[in-house]
Structure 1
């Protein structure tokens, strides 16, 4: 996170000895007092002799994330830094740049320090002909990374050959950020996950892959390709259940597989795993069971009611009752949606959490035609929801009930129209703008994937 990175950068700016001296003075002077940020910075500044006002302004008083990229050419390497248009600050970064070479089939990495506080600086490479260059080695800087063409090719084809688990993890994170920034195709990313993911052993890399899979398939993949992408991911997950280390690694894969299973065959296989008839050596929890039961209802699989009743017998807690509401609302038929809509916007289900459970079961991408009338009803009703309900309800209502499954011009234009006509409340305006930003990103990512 930014906090940890800011501390790393502060230490790099003043030096470790000076930072420790400042910390000793800070704890001595404020051990029994309240302190402000200015007190903390003054102590570090006194210990180091460095004026930290410019550093604080750049690091602690401005939003946004910079992007670092290495550019190689005939005249050598350059480290480039860029910022988003809306947050143009270029922060001073102290980083280490990793240059990886290969000799006789063995990879080795040499890291060199660099300080950048501008758009570009020259870098003297410590080696010739690196096969992979990573400009934020050791994760010292708070920045996104974009890989150069050769390094991207190496990462996509040989990420599993990187022995350093942190560098491998950061490479996966970089690839995902490049997908989000339309510098790398979601299709290529998912292909990597499916091919390289099952044999990954770093739990943090596995968590990243499995956590991003649903977004990559449902939001960043062209609509016509989503079903195939989901099926391919589930197939990769089945392989992971065979070869991944037992324990949390397999649990992460199974959770993601359930979230992406959409065909009757895959949903049936997930049921076999949870029921213990598939033979997978993986721990199963009740949340997995409820998630699958909800998907069985949403996709109209025969026997969904029996599965739901069985799960309620296992878990007759408040959680179980909430999930039963989601399962009822998830049914792919007009009556279920109509009853849920009227109840949510009428007397409700008895509590905020029951109402949210109903909302969570409402929207499904494959039910788009069934849900068509409710998209306009959602937007039309937003002003009254925000006017009649408290902050928490309105915030959760928007976040859970918004038609996120729709990545198209119609929804984008509807948001734009609403933003041009309403005058508040500020929270609604903010959420509409954030939804518009997410929608624009998804549409751009789909366009990159569509282009190949």
Structure 2
């Protein structure tokens, strides 16, 4: 189906004004639901346009006093001609449920057979629910009515106005909404209600997850209330959408979606097993992130998808900030420095990089591709840098002016910059041109010269940019000096490319005692790669375990991991550093993230024999952590997971799975059992029979996903063929089951078994991608990429695929970026081999 272009959206936006949507849905049928919508809109007299709808069957269309031919529908576009100044459009259709997390997703809970529905209208899928002028700048109030089975509960964006009969739910008109924010949930939901500061609150989940919601309800509600309070302190505009519901829904594609009045969140965030505090922090940050969208995206909406950063960058920044400031999860910036920024740095250095605020996004499909680490993590980092430069008071004053000027409307980058410039008295045009309109990342290096007496002759920060994107940026950063006697000093410096031309001397350091470690970007205020001077790099193993500030440790770990990714820090040295520093690391967040971020480097940058040796070191390190962690603690769970993932001791893992020799305090619950079983499957120490037994013991949706992953990981010819069939051809299974299969298919230990599928990926994935919706197709293609086939022949196959003209934009981006990752891995192996040879 054609994707709406910016040119088309601009023309239609100038031609019509949508006044209201009156939507009536009947959910009492079988495989389809009935949709009726009445759209009232103004238009230039005799204008011509189109409305979007994606029906299973279009039943009736009436424009003003004329019946239109349903056969005029071409793909998803229904022409509208001869418009009056005031128009009423009525469209009735049968709509299909989806199993892809888009439109109205229908889920049958394997735990109890209950059926649940939720609506996901993003990015252009409101058309799967009712006919609409589907673009973000045509906002209008939505009045929804739903007929459902009488035993169901229905919730929507608006507040319930009336329930005239069992099964009939009529909701009050909403404030003006962008079409991609319309949502509802329907089914036999378990509901818990509360209120705070005059705002009704509710939380929804499936009945089979009721005990898990109830166990965490106090924490979820506390975080919600704390975040509301903090946003009300920051913003003059109170929460503007009446009630605040949060529905934990099954098989959700994203982490969550900011539908005003009814936020939908993937129900993986209702924990059925023991979790670490970093997982609880992530849930709190997600809650704060979606709440930030109530102002950034919902109250004031981007005009077009080129200003996506006005939604996601702000929600990412404010979600992290508010979680750190208002909840018990005050280490949220530590997580951001290590986990989220690693995502942003990786995205910004790939061939598909793009500016935070692109000059143009041609169509909605291209907009979908930009939901990445640049729009989220880099954009949030840029905002944190902006706050450091402008000051928080001017920043918040500008935001409040922005809300007041564009309340319930749309805005652009230029609109926001005008508000911030007026509040701060600073001209932001050059700043935005460098930070928002230019792609790629700068590198900051410390250049230090030390005199014979051990004192600095000069210390400078040198800023460079890649040749492909030669832009230097203004940075306000901290430089940490860690002296031999334990003293920690911090110097704040402004890097101004206009005056220092990329080399900024730190005044006042000449004659000062040389530090053991110089850490640029201490405090993590900017978005830049960090490279240490040679003396500091040599001192890292000695200094890192003793750094008191967890944010400084996160920044330093990030620098080391990034250097390893670039092939400038040998992965073998990274593993040795991990063995030295992690046993002394008190922050579970850092332990988990270092293990997670280093694992792809171990799996891909090392030759197989070296990989096995490195994983043995990782396993021993995790065992050491496990031995010293308090019983029942997050640290104990993180160490156990790390040991399971890296371990090769089948007897130990089998014993734990059977409940033998389990460390005191470690609960081998559902999720840990699946982790143990999957590792045993990969090692060839468990098979299909054990998977079937585990699946029978865990008849939940999560259990079905874990079982799918285990079956795909089986080191058997038949199992791989069955999994490949699911990945490339099966459209009956839900999005999450297909993704679980794709994600577990490739295993470094099974390179010989899966070698034949390397060619098959490039031969079959273009057709496979066309069988699925773009969101799911891109995720499956990414998960199914032969990422462990580190060979030049894999790159040649990628090049051949990219030369074809029948490759979808999403698959093209997936292959381009994955091929670049393989390029790095091959380079690292070549460098390592050269070092060994010399």
TM-score, normalised relative to structure 2:
0.50
My pick for the range that moved more, 304-313 or 79-88, is 304-313
| Cross-structure match for 1:88 | 470
Higher mean C-alpha displacement, 417-426 vs 218-227:
417-426
Number of residue pairs aligned between Structure 1 and Structure 2: 446
Match of 1:119 in 2: 502
Which of 800, 804, 828 aligns to 1:417? It is 800
Aligned counterpart, 2:783: 400
Matches within 5 A, 1:62-77: 62-73=438-449, 76-77=458-459
What residue in structure 2 maps to residue 179 of structure 1? 564
For residue 290 of structure 1, the aligned residue among 663, 668, 674 is 674
Distance 1:10 1:175 in 2: 26
| 8 Å contact from structure 2 (residues 709, 741) kept in 1 | yes
Contact 2:731 2:771 in 1 (8 A): no
CA drift of 1:151 comes to 0.7
Instruction: Write the distance in 1 (CA, Å) between the matches of 2:480 and 2:543.
Output: 16
Deviations 1:97-145 (A, max 9, x none): 1122123xx3332323333324212223533211111111111111121
Q: Distance in 2 between matches of 1:291 and 1:207?
A: 15
Q: CA deviation at 1:275?
A: 4.1
Go from structure 1 to structure 2 and tell me whether the alpha carbon gap of 1:431 and 1:278 turns closer, same or farther (over 3 Å shift): same
Aligned equivalent of 1:381 = 764
CA distance in 1, matches of 2:743, 2:538: 40
Q: Which residue in the other structure is 2:635 paired with?
A: 249
The more displaced of 118-127 and 26-35 is: 26-35
Distance of aligned partners of 1:233 and 1:125 in 2 relative to their CA distance in 1, 3 Å threshold: farther
TM-score by length of structure 1 reads 0.89
Unaligned segments of structure 1, at least 5 residues: none
Q: Counterpart in 2 of 1:144?
A: 529
Displacement of 1:241: 0.7
- Structure 2: state its 5+ residue gaps: 1-376, 451-456
1:395–1:311 CA distance, 2 compared to 1 (3 A) = same
What are the within-5 Å matches in structure 2 for residues 36-51 of structure 1? Answer: 36-51=412-427
Segment of structure 1 superposing worse, 142-151 or 40-49: 40-49
Partner Cα separation in structure 2 for residue 19 and residue 353 of structure 1: 40
Residue equivalent to 2:488:
108
Preserved contact between residue 322 and residue 357 of structure 1 (Cα < 8 Å): yes
Q: Could you tell me how far apart the structure 2 residues matched to 1:350 and 1:173 are?
A: 38
Residues 659 and 668, structure 2, Cα contact 8 Å, conserved in 1: no
Compute the displacement of 1:191 (Å): 0.9
Query: Distance between the aligned counterparts of 1:327 and 1:110, measured in 2?
Result: 49
Structure 1 285/84 Cα, relative in aligned 2: closer, same or farther at 3 Å?
A: farther
Q: In 2, distance between residues paired with 1:424 and 1:338? A: 24
Q: Segments of 4+ in structure 1 off by > 6 A?
A: none
Distance 1:348 1:332 in 2: 24
d(CA) in 1 for partners of 2:825 and 2:616?
21
Aligned to 2:433: 57
Contact 1:294 1:327 in 2 (8 A): yes
Instruction: Tell me the alpha carbon deviations over residues 73-102 of structure 1, each in whole angstroms, 9 at most, x when there is no partner.
Output: 265122111223333322111112112212
Matches within 5 A, 1:320-359: 320-342=703-725, 344-345=727-728, 350-359=733-742
Q: Within 1, Cα distance between the matches of 2:787 and 2:672?
A: 22
1:432 aligns with 2:818: no
Match of 1:155 among 528, 535, 540: 540
Q: Is the 8 A contact 1:102 1:108 kept in 2?
A: no
2:661 aligns with 278
* Cα distance change, pair 335–15 in 1 and its aligned pair in 2 (3 A): closer
Counterpart secondary structure, 1:102: coil
Q: How many angstroms apart in 2 are the aligned matches of 1:114 and 1:58? A: 15
Distance in 2 of aligned mates of 1:99 and 1:345: 53
Distance 2:532 2:424 in 1: 35
Corresponding residue SS for 1:73: strand
Please state which structure has a larger fraction of its residues in strand: 2
More helix by share: 1
Q: Check conservation: 1:70, 1:133, Cα contact below 8 A.
A: yes
